[in-house]
Structure 1
Amino acid sequence: MPENVSLTLPPPMAADPEAIQRALSQKLGHPIDADRFVIARRSIDARKRTIRVNLGIRVYAAGELPTKGLPEFSYRDVRSAPPVVIVGAGPAGLFAALRLVELGFRPVVVERGKPVKERRRDVAALNRRGILDGESNYAYGEGGAGTFSDGKLYTRSRKRGDHRRVLHRFHQHGADPRILSEAHPHIGSNRLPGIVAAMRTTIETHGGEIHFRQKVVDLSVSGGRATGVRLADGHRIEGRAVVLASGHSARDVYEMLMARKIALDAKSFAMGVRVEHPQGLIDRIQYHGQARGDYLPAAAYHLVQQVDGRGVYSFCMCPGGFIVPASTRRDGLVVNGMSFSRRNSPYANAGIVVEIRPGDIPVRDPAGPLAGLNYQRTLEHIACKNGGGGVVAPAQRLADFVNNRSSPRLPACSYPPGVVASSLHEWLPDSLRLRLQAGFKAFDRKMRGFITNDAIVVGVESRTSSPIRIPRDSSTFQHIGMPGLFPCGEGAGYAGGIVSCAVDGERVAAAVAHFLTG
């Protein structure tokens, strides 16, 4: 077994492999060759003015392989294996497909959007010219909503599966090896498309299938169990089971399930705004006024505050990032955040959102479990009306928003389609506005200088999670009323982010294999 050693070093030393080797040898009291240790964990400790880097190092005995005990992947030829239909090629769907190939089943992935290379062109047209393709955008297409995002690969929910398998599988398909050791690993939206395409190649090379531009409009049901899907063009794709990993923006899928009287449950979700600061300001706050220099990353933050019994918190914080248009309909405006691998934009942004429980929705909606979806849609429509047309977003200076003042002029903003001055404090529902304002004030007490008119709030951030859960049995992972249907990932209400979706995809794949083999 390797020996685990902890080191705490100044940032310049932690960036120098030879300095790490010297410090490790000094701590152990004898020389250590460079091929006998690996950095298992790296994190920044900026709680005090003297900033340090904490390293967790595994030291191996002479002749012991550093790869011992690491996840291994063995893909089978599944060309003649039993087919399993997977709806959605996001992280849940892709990782379910990869795991099924390992287990000896043929995944048949059905994706409404386009392959990632073509999808990039549609995203560029949305950013530069405001042209929205309703089936190929930041939410729909190969890789799902995570492809054009920061690519964060950390999760706080580690009891549901082996998150290390997810990181190693990303590394196997081209991700930087640093994701295996960083405390808060990320890939970056400039690198994720190539990794997603490499995963598709693995699936197809071993006999799996991925069908793009194929919108699912119904399930195929035979003998009381789900056996496949019907497409918008009338064709059917059949399998031995159906994994439903369609993501939280596929609202038509929820409506299809409702029409089939397949049980859905309302659950808590969150909505709010996206706030953007100059990255230099966040660096100064988090690094105690010190210059970041060459050895520290763009500073991030994670903020939480209870306000009137509801959580107000930062979501998808993107240091050195950009705000992007995440709309899927022309009559609704949604924003999100992303960053490249180097995180070198001069801006830092994060969603600041308010927890919404089913009972908080102001009008009791006859749609029942779909009430949360309709509430999201209403707020997105209001944001669109208060924007500048197309996907030009409504925005306000942060200090003005907190103090109920209009902003006649706006600071520079990273949002590519542009922003227009709008008094968000006048049209956001009071249940959101008042909690957001109180939350910002609390955040300013934790991070002095957070409230400033050099920062901007942009509306609206409404797709943090699904307001619906598709209920499944906790042991079989099948829908409680439809055998053979396996709800999966964020859209089903069981995950929230790339890693947790991928972990859920692997768990569901194992449950499918167990179902089909008894």
Structure 2
Amino acid sequence: MIQQISLKLKPLQAASQISIQQQAAAELGVKLSDITGFHIIKRSIDARSKQIYFMLTLKVYVNEPFVERESIQFEFDVIPKNAPKAIVIGAGPAGLFAALRLIEQGIQPIVLERGKDVRARRRDLAALNKTGEVNPDSNYCFGEGGAGTYSDGKLYTRSNKRGDINRILQLFRHFGAEENILFEAHPHIGTNKLPHIITAMRDHIIACGGEVHFEQKVTALAIRNNTIEGVKTATGDLFEAKHVILATGHSARDIFKLLHAQNILIEAKPFALGVRIEHPQALIDSAQFHCLIRPDYLPPASYSLVEQVNGRGVFSFCMCPGGIIAPAATDPGELVVNGWSPSKRNNPYANSGMVVTVDEEDFAPFQHHGELRAMYYQQHVEKESFNAGGGKFVAPAQRMADFVNNKVSNTLPGCSYIPGLRSTNLKEVLPAAVHTRLSGAFQAFGKKMRGYFTNEAILVATESRTSSPVRIPRDSTTLQHPQIKGLYPCGEGAGYAGGIVSAAMDGERVAVAILEQLHP
């Protein structure tokens, strides 16, 4: 027989295959020799009490021939030469997964990416970190794979009603991700491994007859009678197609300006803004696992915190155990920070975005920018942060308790941020509505999580690219822009996703919508 069971195991038990089989046999009331194998369906950690447990859901084979884990078989046939075409603007998760789904449906994707391929992109990231030079088209946000490629590769999402999460994870597995992403409660690939997977996806798109063009920045949409006909790029090229997927990510301000200039409907959108906070990983491990030293069989601890302060949400965002803080700016003179982790999450620090919801009340001084008001507010804060750091992406920073007590830190603790830090009173950098709410939240978090509120923690400004400050509207049924036929806003930049998996699912949804337009 084949049985599905749930086990609650101590960490040392969960680290041993034979211990898991012994516990499964006891649960099922059979002999250990009767179990021929098992698959882990779901694995998570319960650290709510002093005793840590691993929660496992297993598929157990009892006196049955063991069968390897089932996987989805994907069919990517070569696209016929006379196939319909669809332009995909952006090679992030939304764009790449849209392209793959288009191929499955017999539609040729033409992917246009403003940045460089993942290998060439690394050199621009090195220059940004070491010399303070930013390439506006090749950085932590722009380039093959999008913002997610060099910011951790987290695959956790709550968007289970927007698409098939398992299909997305299976596709990542198909292109080289490790099997554990299929069952971990919070799957994660790692910034060091994700580029190889992205490269495999691109090679497959090309092998099937799709096109991928790098350093092709879109500068205009070719529109006639409110119908898309193609796009023009900075190189002077015109790419023609009756279907265009706009998957440019949350930081493509030039695209928002382009749409605004061409009188294409867009909307200002609330987002969240704050700082990236970094603790020693050992401190977070101690607080979460109730131990002085984390044993090897436990992964580096993470956390998720949220608090309502003066009517607004303050919450942790993109938490990176064993991670690094990185400069994520897309233009000179603006400072943005983000976080990432390698696959082993073995760096000595834990960082997380800690952000406050911002809305129309905050955007009011930028009302003259119309639908771009939230974007210009975001940009203003990033410029303030850059100036406070003194240039070359040196970041303004402050110890946590000093921040709450409105005191400039005399010294700063060690930090993973490579360009460097400058001790600053962040009250002079962050908007008052953000600063005051962060101060209140940090004290509340210290009561929820032992040791969290400490001067060993450092705040680095500014975490501001949590989501798009602009929404590009689309019809809920056809997924086309309500004004421009054949234009499909997609992913994070259009305001319909948040994170790699969510964006990938939205890319697939839009690809299916195109097929439905071609074959009603």
Q: Secondary structure at the match of 1:227?
A: strand
Q: Secondary structure at the match of 1:363?
A: helix
Distance 2:5 2:272 in 1: 41
How far 1:289 sits from its partner (Å)? 3.0
Deviations 1:322-367 (A, max 9, x none): 0000011111000000010000000000010000122332415222
* Counterpart code for 1:48: S
* Counterpart code for 2:77: R
Deviations 1:25-74 (A, max 9, x none): 22112246665420011101111111110101123573584545x43311
Distance 2:111 2:34 in 1: 46
| Contact in 1 for aligned 2:141/2:328 (Cα 8 Å) | yes
* Counterpart code for 1:45: D
The residue number in structure 1 matching 2:241 is 239
What are the equivalent positions in structure 2 for 1:112-191 lying under 5 Å apart?
Answer: 112-191=114-193
Distance 1:449 1:11 in 2: 23
Q: Secondary structure at the match of 2:510?
A: helix
**What is the total number of aligned residue pairs between the two structures?**
517
- Over 3 Å counting, the alpha-carbon distance change for 1:2 and 1:105 in structure 2 is farther
The residue number in structure 2 matching 1:194 is 196
- Over 3 Å counting, the alpha-carbon distance change for 1:205 and 1:281 in structure 2 is same
Give the counterpart of 1:248 among 221, 243, 250. Answer: 250
Question: Which piece of structure 1 moves more, 393-402 or 18-27?
Answer: 18-27
What are the equivalent positions in structure 2 for 1:292-441 lying under 5 Å apart?
Answer: 292-441=294-443
How far 1:390 sits from its partner (Å)? 1.0
1:12 has 2:4 as partner: no
Distance 2:377 2:417 in 1: 25
How far 1:402 sits from its partner (Å)? 1.0
How far 1:129 sits from its partner (Å)? 2.3
Q: Secondary structure at the match of 2:151?
A: coil
Distance 1:99 1:358 in 2: 37
Distance 2:69 2:74 in 1: 13
Distance 1:33 1:137 in 2: 54
Distance 1:364 1:426 in 2: 19
Distance 1:373 1:459 in 2: 17
TM-score, scaled relative to structure 2: 0.97
TM-score, scaled relative to structure 1: 0.97
What are the equivalent positions in structure 2 for 1:189-268 lying under 5 Å apart?
Answer: 189-268=191-270
Q: Secondary structure at the match of 1:340?
A: coil
The residue number in structure 1 matching 2:474 is 472
Structure 2 gaps, min length 5: none
- Over 3 Å counting, the alpha-carbon distance change for 1:381 and 1:228 in structure 2 is same
Q: Secondary structure at the match of 1:365?
A: helix
- Over 3 Å counting, the alpha-carbon distance change for 1:33 and 1:198 in structure 2 is farther
How far 1:224 sits from its partner (Å)? 2.8
* Counterpart code for 1:52: Y
* Counterpart code for 1:22: Q
Structure 1 gaps, min length 5: none
| Contact in 2 for aligned 1:36/1:66 (Cα 8 Å) | no
Identity over aligned pairs, percent: 53
How far 1:313 sits from its partner (Å)? 0.3
1:42 has 2:46 as partner: no
The residue number in structure 2 matching 1:3 is 3
Show structure 1 runs of 4+ deviating over 6 A.
none
Distance 2:450 2:134 in 1: 39
The residue number in structure 2 matching 1:75 is 76
Question: Which piece of structure 1 moves more, 86-95 or 3-12?
Answer: 3-12
